[in-house]
Amino acid sequence: MGKKTKIGLAAAAVGAAAWAGSKALANPQFRPAKEVLNYERPIVLAHRGGAKLAPENTLAAFNRSADLGVHGFEIDIRMTKDEEILVFHDEYIDRTTDGAGRVADMSLDQLKAFDLGYHFIDLEGKHSYRGKNEQVVLLRELIEKFPQMYINIDIKDDPETYEGSLVPSKLWRLIDSLGVQDRVAVTSFYDEQIDRFNLYAQNRVAIGAGENEVRKAYASYNSQFGHLYHPRADVFQIPVKSSVFRLDSPRFIAFLENLNIPVHYWVIDEAEAMRTLIKAGAKGIITDRPDLAVALISEMEE
């Protein structure tokens, strides 16, 4: 046996011993159950209210999706100049309205002057909501108007900005004052915003996984040391692919499910893609086409 072979075998033996030792000592870190995530069948979350059926983040969209029978909404929030929490995705308001400017530089009254249906084109190619007085919506208004809905809240403001530094605490105070800890989940692409929010919430609200947490989970899943992964999120809301990595394999979904972490996928607008993900174990479909998703899940349950 050559020297290189002996060294290789020794390294393999050390690695196997390390894996066996860590496996023996590790205790699986299951996430505690959260009421909002207590569902047996897959759910449909209307992305920004159902952005292909009506102007995104408007009451027209939320009402239409509610009428279709969705289980909840997936929304983004930003803070206005007068520190109101707005249901809105973009940093600048001009993409979806007849106005222009940065959300954080405008008051709520200024923002309410814009027509959110101005640029919307429906599935038939018509501007069916222009001039229909579709205005921005406050998070408080949305929660109070739809008391039956699960609302997934994505913090969009950068933690390094003034508004981003305030929103975690203000969001917690709003959730607490409305008593909806068991109706919402809070997430962000910024892991720091999730951590800041949870400093106030103290695990009383379901939290999602930021980009770093998703990377950590996927790396653990792909290694021999997945049993050492200690999740910091109650739910994963992820795309089917990140860079060159596929995040939609049944084994990855099962890896998280075994830790009591359901997986929701965004933004899925094709019926066959929805069907494939549900069969793979996905517990939620986030979509701009809630009409397709609700019909598909009903069909699969028959």
Across 184-205, average pLDDT:
97
Give the confidence band of 2 by pLDDT, cuts at 50, 70, 90.
low
Domain boundaries, the chain: 29-301
pTM of the model: 0.89
Q: Are 151 and 166 in contact (CB under 8 A)?
A: no
Which one is catalytic: 71, 89, 230, 264?
A: 89
Flag whether pLDDT at 28 surpasses 80.
Answer: no
Cα distance between residue 172 and residue 270, in whole Å? 35
Which segments of the chain does DSSP mark as H helices, in order? Answer: 3-25, 59-68, 108-112, 139-145, 162-178, 191-201, 211-222, 250-257, 271-280, 290-301
Residue type at position 203: N
Which one is catalytic: 47, 71, 127, 230?
A: 47
**48 versus 7: which is more confidently predicted?**
48
The tens digit of pLDDT for each residue in 30-73 reads 678 899 999 989 999 999 999 999 999 999 999 999 999 999 99
**What is the pLDDT of the chain when averaged over all its residues?**
90
Catalytic, 47? Answer yes
Give the confidence band of 9 by pLDDT, cuts at 50, 70, 90.
very low
Catalytic, 230? Answer no
Least confident residue range of 68-82, 195-209, 225-239, 260-274: 225-239
The tens digit of pLDDT for each residue in 101-144 reads 999 999 999 999 999 999 999 888 888 899 999 999 999 999 99
29-301 is a CATH 3.40.980.10 domain:
no
pLDDT of residue 14: 38
